Amino acid sequence: METDQQDILTSITAFLSGNNIPYMVTGAWSVIYYGRPRASHDIDFVVEIEPNQTGKILTILKKLSHDFQFQEHAIREAIKNKGMFNIIHVPTYLKLDFWLLTTDEFDKNRFRRKQEVEVLGQKMMLATAEDTILQKLRWYKISPIEKSLIDAAFVYQIQKKNLDATYLINWAKFLNVTKQLKKLGTIDLEPYI
């Protein structure tokens, strides 16, 4: 399954780049890149698509192999409401989650800060380590699932020397996750390795 996920990740990022759809990889694959290898049941992307591009995007997505299935009405709704839609890779049942870029200040900022990195021998756009941590803490605040906190802690502890501490502190205040950020350095990750 991991090889399938890797192949799908590289083929979809190449597809998005090749069709000039601004995107960044987030979620588990961002954590895997910065923090720790772990299983994932989906691949998360943030994409920038304006409502007037809906027809064009649907035309582009129809170029995907028949292994990928999606519902047109769900994509139309997601673009209209700045929500989320999925594309399913039928042979593996892998879900690709596409989150529309919103007008939320942090959302816009983390998308602007995305960086080109090499993953699996291919260049792709990825959320920064700081924004991966902050987004995981944001999810944890909304729904306190331990996995989100552990993911944030792995990225924090592994990338600590490379992180922009001022950026992290300022945005943690803005997002009201300062308490959770302060915990990250003290979490024992040994049981999760």
- Give the SS3 label for residue 42: strand
Convert the pLDDT of each residue in 156-175 to its tens digit.
999 999 999 999 999 999 99
Q: Which contacts (CB < 8 Å, 24+ apart) does range 103-106 have?
A: 105/174, 106/134, 106/138, 106/171, 106/174, 106/175
What is the model's pLDDT at position 190? 86
What is the model's pLDDT at position 1? 41
Residues in the chain predicted with pLDDT less than 70, given as ranges, are: 1-3
Whether 1 and 35 have beta carbons less than 8 Å apart is answered as no
Convert the pLDDT of each residue in 8-18 to its tens digit.
999 999 999 99
